[in-house]
Structure 1
Amino acid sequence: MQRVQIHFMHSIILFILSSGCFTAAAQKKHSNISIGSSLSPTGNSSWRSPSGLYAFGFYPQRNGSRYYVGVFLAGIPEKTVVWTANRDNPPVSSNATLMFNSEGRIVLRSGEQGQNSIIADNSQSASSASMLDSGSFVLHNSDGKVIWQTFDHPTDTLLPTQRLSAGTELCSGISETDPSTGKFRLKMQYDGNLVQYPKNTPDTAPYSYWTSFTGGKGDNVSLNLDKNGHLFLLNSTGFNIKNLTEEETPIQGMMYLMKIDSDGIFRLYSYNLRWQNSTWSEVWPSTSEKCDPIGLCGFNSFCVLNDQTPNCTCLPGFVAISKGNWTAGCERNYTAESCGNKAIQELENTNWEDVSYNVLSEITKEKCKQACLEDCNCEAALYKNEECKMQRLPLRFGKRNLRDSDITFVKVDDATSSSPQAPFSIEGNKKGLWKNIVIICLFVTVVILISVVTFGIFIYRYRVGSYRRIQGNGSAGYCEDIAPLSFSYAELETITGGFKEEVGRGSSGTVYKGAMINGQLVAVKRLEKVLAETEREFQTEIKVIGRTHHRNLVRLLGYSLEVSKKMLVYEYMSNGSLADILFNAEKQPNWIERMGIARDIARGILYLHDECETQIIHCDIKPQNILMDENRCAKISDFGLAKLMKPDQTKTFTGIRGTRGYVAPEWHRNLPITV
């Protein structure tokens, strides 16, 4: 019996997997790119990896009609860029061409920029190229050896199996829509430390805003990301010196990437390849303090958190140079004509880059103020621990930190000081914050109480109404302990809008889409004929199948026995049947999805055969009877031909049922079917 069951399950898996073999084979032929190959934005725009998950080629500028060249995830709806060539060059128009020329180089030709090599640092000529399923685009010499690959030259993203080696760095983009080099970098230092700095600063501690604290723990340390989303540091001997993220249990179909975002924080993201509507989810950030990145705001402005959102605020007496673009910084709102007629405004808990030209020690706050007023070169002073550091403008790398006692004195025009910017006082801000918290909590509490009471009344009325409806129904004699609801013909006619929207048709009936009063979508099946079984057996089938509850079975919600055309009500599956996916070239699942679908079907059959209170033989497993929900989870449906078994029964004789090509092999040998 086990041999037949295993053979049957193997048949399901082979059927699902084999339907994509020809597509995969065709893709693999094109994974090696030969000299003379070319791409254009409006024609053949990319070279794909064998699985189709990654691609190298043109990708469009967001909100624009121009193009960049890079590596991106092409096998998911959310096409995610993971590497960009010549990222600081402007995007090209649709008449550009990417050519693997006879000299073994990949060059970009466009009317605006002429001809540029995509790989500037490659001194050897390539004989072939490949887009790998790992996400790396590689060049090979005539011996097949890799002479260059994108994995060795990352931009802002690290993929699984890729490493950031000692001396290399990732640089953020300017924004989500502009991949040009941004303001922040993540560097794997030769001393073993992984450190974040602002762009164009020395690799020294004062400019660091995040570090792994692994300096001196090994030579040639590298940052690594494995396929399970584990981010860690290895030294040259392969010893793990630090885990940045915890090792998690592998999740089937989950992929990961690490990226330094335009806000200066590097994050680990995950994406579920099995979910049709999946999006990238943040798994781990390097910091939760969004004002930590040094240089988030431009000159003469500083970062302030407002409801966990970073905002840039100008110094007193200054205004934004470009509203909406805080990286441009701030400028004076007055003209400085002379050294006199100045006043000092004070900012608490703010710190800046220290480029002081004069430092006064063991001095009081008032004397620091006065010293800056009397010094025509002093435009601001940083005061902390009885030390006064005099600064010239512009100030940069400013941020507000309530944990610091730093005070900034800003020299302003005396006329401006009469209407100063409100000081950033810790106490005043805390009082306002607590007041807002109390008001919000009271409001939320009242809303929750009202919602709970309203929901309780609705549930009570719905349950009572359902109970009365079932009690008044003529079929209550045998339905009193059935989980599915009993519907009248009129109710189902209303639910389906007069049986207007047909979503499926089979040998036993027609399926219509409908909506319950609570908005839940359902599938109503009108049975055109009843199998040669007694009425009592049909009622028993409804009763038993209605009690089956498994994530891989389509749930029976209700039924109607009022008229000759009996009807069943099932939960609605938005992605149709497995046949709709397998036999549609545009919807075909990838290999990971195919394995997941096969497992889903196997779990459902195992439940019916071994785990259900009343064992059930489906008798008609085929792609048309496997439905897919909104997350592409496979569910077994259509139990019209199912055979119910007694608790101690493992085999039964029954007439041949089902679809030619999918029936149980025992029937062809005149043997009892088994579970």
Structure 2
Amino acid sequence: MKIKFHVLLMKSLLFFLLCSSYTVTAQQNQSHISPGSSLSPTGNFSWLSASGLFAFGFYPQGNGYAVGVFISGVPEQTVVWTANRDNPPVPRNSNLLFNTEGSLVLQTTPGQDINIAEASGVVSSASVLDSGNFVLHNSDQEIMWQSFDRPTDTILPTQRLPENRGMFSSVSETDHSTGIFRLKIMPQDGNLVQFPKDGADATEYNYWQSGTSGTGGNVSLNLGVDGHLYLLNNTGFNIKNITEGGYQEAGMIYFMRLDYDGIIRLYSHNLTEKSSKSVLWESLQDKCIPMGLCGYNSFCVLNDESPECRCLPGFVPVNPGNRTAGCERNFRSESCINRSGTVRSSIKQVENTVWEDASYSDLSQTTKEDCEQACSADGNCEVALFSNGQCSLQKLPLRFGRRDLNTDSKNIAFVKLHTTPSSDCIEPKEEDEQVELKQLERMIKVALWCILDEPSLRPSMKKVLLMLEGTVGHSKSSKSYFLS
């Protein structure tokens, strides 16, 4: 136990020696922040840790600024924590104030304060620690609030993710709002699991896991200063090495991130060379596996190892610049009917794809031909999923689709296409009635007959109704009047 303690102590000393040797010129170092201190995007925009390795303050996002913790002095923006991440960017005239009440507030308009950090007790100072943790202290230097307790998408060395806290990916590399993927440790189970944000905590929505189910409660995810990512149980016992660690420590810093594409990655920054971040480990090699990467009615295909979203046959992208927006039908069945009053349809196959099974009817021990026919004959069926003799009839939308070339089940999606040709189409009218020409002509004639100059030639109301129904025609006198 003493040996382990000394090893951990040596690693911590090396980390802090590294931090103390790292210097930046962007801001004056300030490890102790007193009430009354403030920041602005265009002035003193951040507070630095003692070594200058981390900064807390404003950074550019979208058409404005966000507030968070970022690695300072590296060539690319590396944000590791964002405050109020789903709030819109703030303007350049905003002000971040550590007020005399001990709260950190963001002032965007006069009289309107947004809490960034607020402790339950009395706060006397704030600090940006060399670990990347932004903290609020009381007069005894006890931590009353810390950013490490509220991870967004990143874990830093010495930080831990307990089972009662989840992590969510960001929207993109530059937009740190809440994205569509999440990472959590299952309560009282010990399994570290990746889910789509909109999926339930169920096995069918689990697209990656640590394989530590059943190891007990109070499990936490931890990252060491040498890049060692691991799980500890409630007794402090290491139940899983996710990465082995042991990477170079001098001049390096490591961090783990749940990236916007749904994959966990361990990164390194070489601080001495001030290089871009490098990937040391990732949870998945197949970038199409994260469920929800492509939106409704679209499926993910790898193109030179890069994920590409494709629409189902007969569908087009809702927003070509946003793959998570999904696809919609290029032809709406209610917009055109053929002259017989029905919509013609055909079936197209999409092979080797897997989808969420949300069927309303299932057929077992059937053939793919029978599955195709079952969907074609069922007015409610939009897509039928066939696999290993099982046929699932589905309504739209479909989600969580991806190409699966490694499956032995020969999955097939039978997609119903509405194919009424335009020549046969009748368009309906309006840290919705079709007006017939003969009926229109009859109504005009009756109207004219009813306003004849000679009252004796005008029809009775009974005859008007019969004529509108087409039961009787016009009288000879009225016809001769019209001709004259």
TM range (shorter): 0.7 to 0.9
Equivalent residue for 2:473? none
Equivalent residue for 1:647? none
Are 1:365 and 2:380 counterparts?
no
Query: Which among 194, 211, 214 is matched to residue 213 of structure 1?
Result: 211
Query: Which among 169, 175, 178 is matched to residue 175 of structure 2?
Result: 178
Report the Cα offset of residue 235 of structure 1: 0.8
Report the Cα offset of residue 112 of structure 1: 9.5
Report the Cα offset of residue 95 of structure 1: 0.3
- Counterparts of 1:261-276 in structure 2, within 5 Å, are 261-276=259-274
Letter in structure 2 aligned against 1:57: G
Cα distance, 1:200–1:415 mapped onto 2, change above 3 Å: same
Query: Which among 65, 68, 71 is matched to residue 70 of structure 1?
Result: 68
Preserved CA contact (<8 Å) 1:351 1:406: yes
Residues paired across the two proteins, number? 393
Letter in structure 2 aligned against 1:81: V
Equivalent residue for 1:335? 332
3-state SS of paired residue (2:135): strand
Are 1:352 and 2:350 counterparts?
no
Are 1:228 and 2:233 counterparts?
no
Equivalent residue for 2:6? none
Preserved CA contact (<8 Å) 2:23 2:53: no
Equivalent residue for 1:35? 35
Letter in structure 2 aligned against 1:32: H
Report the Cα offset of residue 20 of structure 1: 8.2
Q: Distance in 2 between matches of 1:117 and 1:325?
A: 32
3-state SS of paired residue (1:327): helix
Q: Distance in 2 between matches of 1:346 and 1:250?
A: 52
3-state SS of paired residue (1:367): helix
Preserved CA contact (<8 Å) 1:209 1:292: yes
- Which piece of structure 1 moves more, 30-39 or 257-266? 30-39
Equivalent residue for 1:414? 419
Q: Distance in 1 between matches of 2:319 and 2:110?
A: 29
Unaligned runs of 5+ in 1: 1-16, 417-675
Preserved CA contact (<8 Å) 1:92 1:112: no
Cα distance, 1:264–1:34 mapped onto 2, change above 3 Å: same
3-state SS of paired residue (1:34): coil
Q: Distance in 1 between matches of 2:279 and 2:80?
A: 16
1:87-139: CA deviation from partner (whole Å, max 9, x where unpaired): 1001111100001112221110113993211136x444422111100000011
Q: Distance in 1 between matches of 2:367 and 2:24?
A: 77
Query: Which among 130, 146, 149 is matched to residue 149 of structure 1?
Result: 146
Letter in structure 2 aligned against 1:34: S
Letter in structure 2 aligned against 1:198: P
Are 1:127 and 2:130 counterparts?
no
Equivalent residue for 2:246? 248
3-state SS of paired residue (1:214): coil
Are 1:383 and 2:386 counterparts?
yes
Cα distance, 1:164–1:23 mapped onto 2, change above 3 Å: closer
Q: Distance in 1 between matches of 2:77 and 2:415?
A: 47
Q: Distance in 2 between matches of 1:335 and 1:250?
A: 59
- % identical aligned pairs: 58
3-state SS of paired residue (2:239): strand
Cα distance, 1:152–1:319 mapped onto 2, change above 3 Å: same
Q: Distance in 1 between matches of 2:302 and 2:232?
A: 35
Equivalent residue for 1:304? 301
Equivalent residue for 1:460? none
Preserved CA contact (<8 Å) 1:100 1:106: yes
- Counterparts of 1:535-574 in structure 2, within 5 Å, are none
Equivalent residue for 1:50? 50
1:240-263: CA deviation from partner (whole Å, max 9, x where unpaired): 111111232544211101111111
Report the Cα offset of residue 197 of structure 1: 0.5
Preserved CA contact (<8 Å) 1:68 1:91: yes
Preserved CA contact (<8 Å) 1:183 1:295: yes
Q: Distance in 1 between matches of 2:291 and 2:34?
A: 45
The two structures have a TM-score, normalised by structure 2, of 0.77
Q: Distance in 2 between matches of 1:23 and 1:345?
A: 60
Q: Distance in 2 between matches of 1:249 and 1:175?
A: 28
3-state SS of paired residue (1:32): coil
Cα distance, 1:55–1:414 mapped onto 2, change above 3 Å: same
Q: Distance in 1 between matches of 2:40 and 2:236?
A: 43
3-state SS of paired residue (1:135): coil
3-state SS of paired residue (1:76): coil
The two structures have a TM-score, normalised by structure 1, of 0.56
Letter in structure 2 aligned against 1:407: I
Preserved CA contact (<8 Å) 1:126 1:141: yes
3-state SS of paired residue (1:322): coil
The structure with higher relative contact order (CA 8 Å, sep 6+) is 2
Q: Distance in 2 between matches of 1:309 and 1:58?
A: 33
Preserved CA contact (<8 Å) 1:382 1:390: yes
1:317-373: CA deviation from partner (whole Å, max 9, x where unpaired): 001111122111111111213664111111111111111111111221111111111
Preserved CA contact (<8 Å) 1:105 1:125: no
Q: Distance in 2 between matches of 1:23 and 1:114?
A: 34
Q: Distance in 1 between matches of 2:415 and 2:332?
A: 15
Cα distance, 1:368–1:84 mapped onto 2, change above 3 Å: same
1:499-551: CA deviation from partner (whole Å, max 9, x where unpaired): xxxxxxxxxxxxxxxxxxxxxxxxxxxxxxxxxxxxxxxxxxxxxxxxxxxxx
Report the Cα offset of residue 303 of structure 1: 0.2
1:131-163: CA deviation from partner (whole Å, max 9, x where unpaired): 100000011223322121111100001101111
Preserved CA contact (<8 Å) 1:321 1:328: yes
Equivalent residue for 1:168? 165
Q: Distance in 2 between matches of 1:20 and 1:388?
A: 64
Letter in structure 1 aligned against 2:236: G
Equivalent residue for 2:474? none
Report the Cα offset of residue 271 of structure 1: 1.2
Unaligned runs of 5+ in 2: 1-17, 422-484
Letter in structure 1 aligned against 2:394: Q
RMSD, matched Cα? 2.4
Q: Distance in 1 between matches of 2:162 and 2:186?
A: 9
Preserved CA contact (<8 Å) 2:21 2:51: no
Letter in structure 1 aligned against 2:360: Y
Cα distance, 1:355–1:21 mapped onto 2, change above 3 Å: closer
Letter in structure 1 aligned against 2:404: N
Preserved CA contact (<8 Å) 1:342 1:412: yes
Q: Distance in 1 between matches of 2:332 and 2:23?
A: 73
Q: Distance in 2 between matches of 1:250 and 1:262?
A: 27
Letter in structure 1 aligned against 2:206: S
- Counterparts of 1:433-452 in structure 2, within 5 Å, are none
Report the Cα offset of residue 306 of structure 1: 1.2
Equivalent residue for 1:95? 93
Letter in structure 1 aligned against 2:366: I
